[in-house]
Amino acid sequence: MSGKLGVPNYGPMERIVVALAGNPNSGKSSLFNLLTGARQHVANYPGVTVEKKQGVCRYQDHEIVVVDLPGTYSLTAYSMEELVARRFVLEDKPDVVVDVVDASNVERNLYLGTQLIEMAPPLVFAFNMADLAKRRGLVFDLEQLSRLLETRIVPTVASKGEGRAALLEAILRTAQEGRKARIHTVQYGDEIEEQITRIEGVVREWEKGLAERYGSRWLAVKLLEQDEEILAQVGRPEVLDVVDKSVRHLRGLFRDEPEIVMADRRYGFISGACQETIKNSVERRHDASDTIDAVVTNRVLGLPIFLLLMYAVFWATFALGEYPMKGLEWLFGWLTAAVSGLWPVGSESWLRSLLVDGVIAGVGGVVVFLPNILLLFLAIALLEDTGYMARAAFVMDRLMYKIGLHGKSFIPMLIGFGCSVPAIMATRILENRRNRLTTILVIPLMSCGARLTIYSLLIPAFFALHWRGPVMWSIYLIGILLAVICAKLLRVTIFQGETMPFVMELPPYRVPTPRSVLIHMWQRGWMFLKKAGTVILGISIVLWVLASFPKPDARDLAGLDETQARQVAMSHSVMGRVGHLIEPAIQPLGFDWKIGTALIGSLAAKEVFVSQLSIVYAVHSQDSSDVLSAKLRASYTPLVGFCILLFCLISAPCVATLAITRQEAGSWRWAAFQFLGLTALAYGVTLVVFQLGRIWL
Ligand code: GDP
Ligand code: MG
């Protein structure tokens, strides 16, 4: 029977459900859009917060329902995404599964492919990014590969809309053929195959239901791999007993987990199949990548290379950033003078004070960091786009895994030593939300650049020369230690859940395109500017009001010079009063109202602590910092000095950090949690140190 246009008609099937599987970034979403014209319905998979995208298209009188599965590298039971994808294929039994393969990276993508083959659904491979593969000089013998994989292969270029008709055609044909009876594509070698056959026998006997639902071979493979989800479904001790014996037998034979040996066999199969059917007519890029990787992910050399590169990035950020930063400082200086000049000399105007001391000083103090931030993001974009970042994460993973974080978390934490704001933005490289939130929450414990201004004032003021280095070092170290402890605590309490064993995908090295690098950099920089323009502007005005009103009587100021007048005004203002108000609360830490006032000011930006102190201590702005140091030394003991350092390190992050936390975590609740948690931690730690110090010193 023939269809309208002479195309064969595949029978009465009306509605075909197609599931799109594939590695992240293989072009799944693009292909989804190509098939469905982006008409989609988004919901969650039942019971989990993994997004389920669904769309419909018509093809030759068939209604084709396309479901976009979560992007995964594998189909183990280790992550929610993998479980969701696997369950959909097994339980919902779509009519066809399309595995979207990045054709420029077939070997890595086919790991998922072989696992799908083993599940034996009606399967089609879409070799997407065929354009990229061609440009790389890859030549495929698709006919042969299709035979080896026992599966149809259709080349597509989803981003340019090529291959739609051929793919739909293949989907129809495959849907009509239905499930394959037996799949023996990947062979695991005599010893393992023997155990598979043995287990297949017992499951067919004792677990008929499961064997019918999943296929006995797949079931046996998963049981040998000790897959938790599948093991949990097997009730018969007869089966578990045989599985246990088989696993122990293989473990003894290979001196390794069967799961690992089997993964190796799959890789071996893929590697062999690719070698036979894919030729590289240009250079051996893959080999070049491997050679570089042998060095940069080396057990011994990996870490030093990474640290050196990071050092270079920070050095470049601050060294090169200094010139444009000077320019911006000059610009804001000029703006200050220009705005001040609008009023006659010596006249008092609240509007001038608001503009100069509030708006320009507040926003300017943050915007001057823009060059640093742009440079830092440029460097990160470069490292990401070349493919090095994945290696860095790989190198750091063994350490980070111990505190329950992903290797990639290390990068934002490192950036945190510069500034928490870009650091928190950089957590976007983390895909797992729990990981990301944990990292965001502890980032402020990394001593940022603004805190350095506090350290450089207080440490020389209270400590003799030979103590300064160790004190500074200990402050940084305490921050790191607390971050590690907090991260671990968060991971075992509110962010409990799977810490995935790290399946590291090492993409081949690439020469980054200037366009994508610049766009990356600019997008992040623009977000930062928007923040300065809105939140920081607002907060600066609020703080200015708090520090300026109510004004003292003119009588109280009579006979005082300008600096003394500012001191009296500060003490009289809301901020000064709040400082007095909280004095009883901070006295157990060794602090008085003056420090309290400065701490409140430091909420706006940590460096404000220093300028606030110079106001409450009536130090002329043109005096050198030695004057302030001397006054501090006369007022407090070194123990109090150390406690101030501690408190500034740990306590409430600045407003910009809180605002960015809200934005990136998606709710004020997380910002509030961060604020309260860190402040409480600071209070606790400082209290213990001060009280113990008082007894012992
Ligand atoms: P997903 O993570 O699998 O959903 O992948 P996306 O559909 O988001 O695609 C990732 C990137 O690859 C996007 O920038 C796409 O524009 C691009 N892309 C998708 N398909 C192709 C293709 O066939 N060729 C090329 N050159 N790029 C593609
Ligand atoms: Mg996608």
CATH at 122: 3.40.50.300
Question: Is 57 contained in some domain?
Answer: yes
What is the Cα–Cα distance from 615 to 603, expressed in whole angstroms?
16
What is the Cα–Cα distance from 513 to 510, expressed in whole angstroms?
9
More confident residue, 672 or 552: 672
pLDDT > 70? residue 287: no
Q: Which ligand is nearest to the CA of 27?
A: 1
Among 20, 23, 30, 157, which is best to mutate for testing ligand 1, by the most ligand atoms less than 8 A from CB? 30
Confidence of residue 226 (pLDDT cuts 50, 70, 90): very high
Among 23, 25, 135, 520, which is best to mutate for testing ligand 1, by the most ligand atoms less than 8 A from CB? 25
pLDDT > 90? residue 482: yes
What pLDDT, on a 0 to 100 scale, did the predictor assign at position 4? 39
Confidence of residue 614 (pLDDT cuts 50, 70, 90): confident
Q: Kindly list the protein residues whose Cβ atom lies closer than 6 A to any atom of ligand 1.
A: 22, 24-30, 71, 128-129, 131-132, 157-159
Give, using CA atoms, the residue closest to atom 22 of ligand 1: 129
Residues 125 and 274 occupy one common structural domain = no
Q: In the predicted model, what is the mean pLDDT of residues 365-376?
A: 75
Confidence of residue 49 (pLDDT cuts 50, 70, 90): low
Question: Is 61 contained in some domain?
Answer: yes
Give, using CA atoms, the residue closest to atom 28 of ligand 1: 159
More confident residue, 446 or 549: 446
Question: Is 209 contained in some domain?
Answer: yes
Residues 136 and 235 occupy one common structural domain = no
Q: In the predicted model, what is the mean pLDDT of residues 412-431?
A: 81
CATH number, position 247: 1.10.287.1770
Residues 51 and 136 occupy one common structural domain = yes
Instruction: Name the domain boundary from 286, 314, 336.
Output: 286
What pLDDT, on a 0 to 100 scale, did the predictor assign at position 674? 95
Q: Which is the closest atom of ligand 1 to the Cα of 26? A: 3
Confidence of residue 385 (pLDDT cuts 50, 70, 90): confident
Question: Is 39 contained in some domain?
Answer: yes
- Look over the chain and give the mean of its residue pLDDT values, rounded to a whole number: 83
Three-class secondary structure of residue 57 per DSSP:
strand
More confident residue, 369 or 161: 161
How many CB atoms neighbour CB 290 within 10 A? 12
pLDDT > 70? residue 582: yes
The two three-digit tokens of residue 204, written as one number? 């067919």
Residue with tokens 């004057």: 627
- Separation in Å, CA 220 to CA 82, 216, 239, 244, 249: 19, 6, 10, 12, 15
Residues 111 and 50 occupy one common structural domain = yes
Q: Which ligand is nearest to the CA of 158?
A: 1
Residues 80 and 164 occupy one common structural domain = yes
**Number of domains making up the chain:** 2
pLDDT > 90? residue 686: yes
pLDDT > 60? residue 510: yes
The two three-digit tokens of residue 64, written as one number? 């084709």
User: How many angstroms does the Cα of residue 27 sit away from the middle of ligand 2?
Assistant: 7
More confident residue, 472 or 510: 472
The two three-digit tokens of residue 395, written as one number? 């190198």
pLDDT > 80? residue 540: no
DSSP-H helix ranges across 507-617? 514-531, 537-548, 554-557, 562-572, 574-586, 593-601, 608-616
The two three-digit tokens of residue 521, written as one number? 């950099």
The answer to pTM > 0.95 is no
Question: Is 546 contained in some domain?
Answer: no
Q: Is 176 exposed, middle or buried (0-12, 13-18, 19+ CB in 10 A)?
A: middle
Question: Is 442 contained in some domain?
Answer: no
What is the Cα–Cα distance from 119 to 417, expressed in whole angstroms?
48
Question: Is 225 contained in some domain?
Answer: yes
> What residues form DSSP beta bridges with 43?
52
Q: In the predicted model, what is the mean pLDDT of residues 110-139?
A: 92
The segment with the largest mean pLDDT, out of 419-423, 493-497, 556-560, 584-588, is 584-588
Confidence of residue 253 (pLDDT cuts 50, 70, 90): confident
Q: Which domain covers residue 55, as residue numbers?
A: 14-177
Q: Which is the closest atom of ligand 1 to the Cα of 162? A: 23
- Separation in Å, CA 440 to CA 82, 130, 497, 558: 25, 38, 17, 50
The two three-digit tokens of residue 524, written as one number? 């992040």
Largest alpha-carbon pair distance within the chain?
107
b (16+ CB within 10 A) / e for 401-417: eebbbbbbbbbbbbbbb
User: How many angstroms does the Cα of residue 514 sit away from the middle of ligand 1?
Assistant: 19
What pLDDT, on a 0 to 100 scale, did the predictor assign at position 508? 66
User: How many angstroms does the Cα of residue 26 sit away from the middle of ligand 2?
Assistant: 8
pLDDT > 50? residue 503: no
User: How many angstroms does the Cα of residue 154 sit away from the middle of ligand 2?
Assistant: 20
Residues 134 and 36 occupy one common structural domain = yes
User: How many angstroms does the Cα of residue 326 sit away from the middle of ligand 1?
Assistant: 41
| Percent of the chain whose predicted confidence (pLDDT) is above 90 | 27
Phi/psi region, residue 496 (left: phi>0; alpha: psi -120 to 50; beta: rest), is beta
CB 631 within 8 A of CB 581: no
Q: In the predicted model, what is the mean pLDDT of residues 204-233?
A: 91
List the Cα angle 424/411/401 in 5-degree steps: 105
**Phi, then psi, of 369 in degrees rounded to 5:** -80, -5
What is the Cα–Cα distance from 437 to 664, expressed in whole angstroms?
9
Q: Which ligand is nearest to the CA of 134?
A: 1
What is the Cα–Cα distance from 649 to 478, expressed in whole angstroms?
9
Among 72, 159, 164, 384, which is best to mutate for testing ligand 1, by the most ligand atoms less than 8 A from CB? 159
Give, using CA atoms, the residue closest to atom 25 of ligand 1: 129
Which protein residues have their CB within 5 A of the ion that is ligand 2?
A: 29
What is the Cα–Cα distance from 198 to 242, expressed in whole angstroms?
8
Q: In the predicted model, what is the mean pLDDT of residues 396-404?
A: 75
Instruction: Name the domain boundary from 254, 286, 318.
Output: 286
pLDDT > 50? residue 1: no
Residues 116 and 169 occupy one common structural domain = yes
Confidence of residue 3 (pLDDT cuts 50, 70, 90): very low
Q: Which of 538, 562, 535, 545 is nearest to 620 (CA)?
A: 562
pLDDT > 90? residue 172: yes
What pLDDT, on a 0 to 100 scale, did the predictor assign at position 286? 57
What is the Cα–Cα distance from 441 to 153, expressed in whole angstroms?
46
CB 509 within 8 A of CB 294: no
pLDDT > 50? residue 661: yes
Q: Which is the closest atom of ligand 1 to the Cα of 132? A: 26
Residues 109 and 246 occupy one common structural domain = no
Q: In the predicted model, what is the mean pLDDT of residues 512-518?
A: 78
pLDDT > 60? residue 119: yes
pLDDT > 50? residue 124: yes
Q: Which is the closest atom of ligand 1 to the Cα of 33? A: 7
User: How many angstroms does the Cα of residue 26 sit away from the middle of ligand 1?
Assistant: 6
Residues 224 and 125 occupy one common structural domain = no
More confident residue, 144 or 153: 153
User: How many angstroms does the Cα of residue 384 sit away from the middle of ligand 2?
Assistant: 19
Q: Amino acid identity, residue 443?
A: I
What is the Cα–Cα distance from 224 to 183, expressed in whole angstroms?
17
Question: Is 216 contained in some domain?
Answer: yes
More confident residue, 25 or 64: 64
Q: Which ligand is nearest to the CA of 135?
A: 1
Q: Which ligand is nearest to the CA of 128?
A: 1
Instruction: Name the domain boundary from 146, 177, 208.
Output: 177
Residues 218 and 256 occupy one common structural domain = yes
User: How many angstroms does the Cα of residue 30 sit away from the middle of ligand 2?
Assistant: 7
Residues 133 and 168 occupy one common structural domain = yes
Is residue 41 within a helix (H) or strand (E), and if so which, with residue range?
strand 40-44
Q: Which ligand is nearest to the CA of 31?
A: 1
Residues 121 and 156 occupy one common structural domain = yes
User: How many angstroms does the Cα of residue 31 sit away from the middle of ligand 2?
Assistant: 9
3-state helix, strand, coil in the chain (%, to 5): 65, 10, 25
Give, using CA atoms, the residue closest to atom 2 of ligand 1: 25
pLDDT > 80? residue 41: no
User: How many angstroms does the Cα of residue 506 sit away from the middle of ligand 1?
Assistant: 18
DSSP string, 135-169: HTTEEE-HHHHHHHHTSEEEE-BGGGTBTHHHHHH
User: How many angstroms does the Cα of residue 25 sit away from the middle of ligand 2?
Assistant: 7
Q: In the predicted model, what is the mean pLDDT of residues 249-264?
A: 86
